[in-house]
Structure 1
Amino acid sequence: MPLHSLIHNPRNARQNMEGVEGLAETYETTGVLQPCLVISVETFRSAFPEDAEALPSAGYVVIGGNRRLAAAHRAGLATLPVHVSAKLKTREEILVAAATENIAREDLKPFEELATIEELKTELGTYDAVAKKLGKTAGWVSQRRRLHHLQPEIRQALEARTPGMTIELARDLGKLKDRDQQLKAWRDSQRAASRTADPAAGKQSKPKKNKVPAQGGSGDGSGALLEGAAKARREACLLAVAAGAGDLARLAIIAAQAPAAPDEAVALAGQWLTETAVGPSELHLEALHGGEGTDRQKQAALALALAHCELHMTRTSSTDSAHARAYADWLETHTDYQPTDAEPAPTA
């Protein structure tokens, strides 16, 4: 189709078209290899009447390939290959198609992903429905929603790609709802990054993650380092305890069906509480008197429930499929945990 008949999607989640110059250069030499996905202006107007005034009376709206369209204009091309979809007609279908295109290509910045999720949630009703439509886990959506809680200074650091700031760190900071705690954690992270700098090379070396040992005697060999999925799970547990967040009621039901030796569970939970500066004393029965409902005791309850689940999971090697699914789902929903052997979810 001629370029003058193709229109950028006014609801495109991408706020800035990065990398257009390089793409234009390849188009000048090799042409455009992948067609854009388009629908008629009439179809788009029908689905989004609030955007009708921003559109011409005829032509086609680009749903997938807005960066390709911008690069084609820059390269001075006269035409662009397109695929005209006759299936995309409703708001939901158009929004999901645009979102899966961008997310599958990893084209979106963190806050653009968040905006896409929120727009789909408005249309679909729940975040679970958004995850299913995008072919993602509930945990994937939950991780990105944490960016809502970032303080303006940290949002700016993430958008400006300030040295030391990563999307993983931003998501972890988003677990902290208190402003002062969040800013302190960001400053501490910056100081830690500066301590790992290599002054001779003038570069920063990547800070090492704390290794999580086989805490509390998990039945996998005294003092042995945990392997693969078990190690990832325990790192996720530590983060969950530190954040003090998550659906404790659901976890308690899962933990009640995960038999473990009480002393071992207390030892494992106590180590997590020690590493998060809460302290294992919160697990002592005498400390319960008169302290109902405190944040520290909620963290202790969370740690103990996770310890029961984790010890059971390690011993059974995930053969208890119902418990394994429930436990892994909780971790994915409330932490950054992703199963190490999971295949990528389909995105189309």
Structure 2
Amino acid sequence: MAARGRVSLAALVDDDDDQDAPSLNASSAPAGGGVAAPSSVPTAELIPNPRNPRDTVGDLEDLASIVDIQLQPAAVVTRAAYLRLYPDDEITANWVVINGCRRLAAAEKYGKDTLEIVVKDELARDRATLIAAAIRENVERVDFDVIEEAHAVQSLVDECGSGREAAKRLGKSEGWITQRRALLELAPEIQEKMRAGEIAVRHARTLAKVPEERQVQAWNAYLEREDQKRKEGEKAKPKEKPAAPPQYRNVTAALRNFDAAPTDLADALIDALGDDGVATLLTVIKRRRRA
């Protein structure tokens, strides 16, 4: 079988100053040029986005199966495309992973030496596009640190020049952008509690309206009020009567059926009271009858 032709990444992205970039199979490129189809490359040739809004990749156990199958390729940009935006960053790898940093980390952790990628240099057409792409990958993740998210949103607003433009880039409302930015006005202690999951975003938005020096005090006061409500609610609950032991429930059932089966009541009383108890009961009944 004849060897397939090869084309450099520079040709794919029309980048004259990236002639030393490694090549991908020509068959992976769509007709007319543009983004390449997924290709498998060594993980050693990839680096996670230095501008990733996540400080950590979190627990990778859910991606352990990447060793056997990778369900989705990682979206990358070439080193040259990235350095046009951030020339001061030190990038030695051939590609920078923009969407799929956790997949790359999982591959490295679980011993997979290659990763499927798709080259999307259009993600690096400007800084705002790159930042927005990184945020969109993480924003819906349950384990995404909301303070990391707030910092990322702020960086996008700084790059775009307005919250309205940032909202368009992310497909979010301006209100959502404003709420996330407000979290950066929280006292450090409150931010740490948010990171730990102790304070919900809805509460944090309220706290952000309080002067920073009074936020911790306001939160503690809220907790005290909630604790007091809980205690008052417990006091207001009617106390449940302890359930009768099974042998006494049998007596009650036998009483209801006494006319049809009087011996059932005798058996139930013997079981519930014991011989001594029955003797005492009979003595009391006799006395009551004489009275």
TM-score w.r.t. the length of structure 1 is 0.51
**C-alpha distance in 1 between matches for 2:230 and 2:56:** 32
Does the alignment pair 1:76 with 2:76?
Answer: no
- Aligned equivalent of 2:271: none
**C-alpha distance in 2 between matches for 1:72 and 1:134:** 28
1:191 equivalent among 219, 224, 242: 224
**C-alpha distance in 2 between matches for 1:155 and 1:7:** 30
Deviation digits for residues 53-89 of structure 1 (CA, Å, limit 9, x no counterpart): x210x41000001111101101100211111114223
Q: Does the 8 A contact of 2:81 with 2:121 survive in 1?
A: no
Q: Which SS does the other structure have where 1:108 is aligned?
A: coil
Question: Residue 77 of structure 2 aligns to which amino acid in structure 1?
Answer: I
Q: Say what the alpha-carbon RMSD is for the aligned residues.
A: 2.0
2:200 equivalent among 163, 166, 178: 166
Q: Which SS does the other structure have where 1:39 is aligned?
A: strand
Question: Residue 191 of structure 1 aligns to which amino acid in structure 2?
Answer: E
Q: How many residue pairs were aligned?
A: 190
| Change in CA separation of 1:59 and 1:196 when aligned onto 2, cut-off 3 Å | farther
Q: Does the 8 A contact of 2:151 with 2:184 survive in 1?
A: no
Q: Residue 143 of structure 1: CA displacement?
A: 1.0
Question: Residue 210 of structure 2 aligns to which amino acid in structure 1?
Answer: L
**C-alpha distance in 1 between matches for 2:66 and 2:226:** 41
- Aligned equivalent of 1:37: 75
- Aligned equivalent of 1:55: 91
Deviation digits for residues 301-324 of structure 1 (CA, Å, limit 9, x no counterpart): xxxxxxxxxxxxxxxxxxxxxxxx
Question: Residue 118 of structure 1 aligns to which amino acid in structure 2?
Answer: Q
Deviation digits for residues 86-130 of structure 1 (CA, Å, limit 9, x no counterpart): 422322222222122222445631111111111111211111111
- Aligned equivalent of 1:46: 84
| Change in CA separation of 1:133 and 1:176 when aligned onto 2, cut-off 3 Å | same
Q: Residue 197 of structure 1: CA displacement?
A: 6.1
1:18 equivalent among 58, 72, 77: 58
Deviation digits for residues 253-304 of structure 1 (CA, Å, limit 9, x no counterpart): xxxxxxxxxxxxxxxxxxxxxxxxxxxxxxxxxxxxxxxxxxxxxxxxxxxx
Larger radius of gyration: 2
Q: Which SS does the other structure have where 2:197 is aligned?
A: coil
**C-alpha distance in 2 between matches for 1:64 and 1:18:** 15
**C-alpha distance in 1 between matches for 2:178 and 2:223:** 25
Q: Which SS does the other structure have where 1:87 is aligned?
A: helix
**C-alpha distance in 1 between matches for 2:173 and 2:110:** 39
Does the alignment pair 1:87 with 2:122?
Answer: yes
Q: Which SS does the other structure have where 1:116 is aligned?
A: helix
Segments of 4+ moved more than 6 angstroms: none
Q: Does the 8 A contact of 1:23 with 1:68 survive in 2?
A: no
| Change in CA separation of 1:108 and 1:178 when aligned onto 2, cut-off 3 Å | closer
Question: Residue 188 of structure 1 aligns to which amino acid in structure 2?
Answer: A
- Aligned equivalent of 1:154: 190
- Aligned equivalent of 2:154: 118
TM-score w.r.t. the length of structure 2 is 0.60
**C-alpha distance in 1 between matches for 2:63 and 2:172:** 32
| Change in CA separation of 1:40 and 1:172 when aligned onto 2, cut-off 3 Å | same
2:135 equivalent among 78, 81, 99: 99
Deviation digits for residues 213-267 of structure 1 (CA, Å, limit 9, x no counterpart): xxxxxxxxxxxxxxxxxxxxxxxxxxxxxxxxxxxxxxxxxxxxxxxxxxxxxxx
Q: Which SS does the other structure have where 1:49 is aligned?
A: coil
Q: Does the 8 A contact of 1:150 with 1:173 survive in 2?
A: yes
Q: Residue 178 of structure 1: CA displacement?
A: 5.2
Q: Which SS does the other structure have where 2:211 is aligned?
A: coil
Structure 2 residue ranges without an equivalent (≥5): 1-40, 232-291
Q: Does the 8 A contact of 1:38 with 1:85 survive in 2?
A: yes
Q: Does the 8 A contact of 2:66 with 2:103 survive in 1?
A: no
1:2 equivalent among 42, 60, 70: 42
**C-alpha distance in 1 between matches for 2:163 and 2:205:** 17
Q: Does the 8 A contact of 1:37 with 1:62 survive in 2?
A: yes
Query: Where do 1:210-289 residues align within 5 Å?
Result: none
Question: Residue 111 of structure 1 aligns to which amino acid in structure 2?
Answer: I
**More strand per residue:** 2
Question: Residue 153 of structure 2 aligns to which amino acid in structure 1?
Answer: I
Does the alignment pair 1:176 with 2:210?
Answer: yes
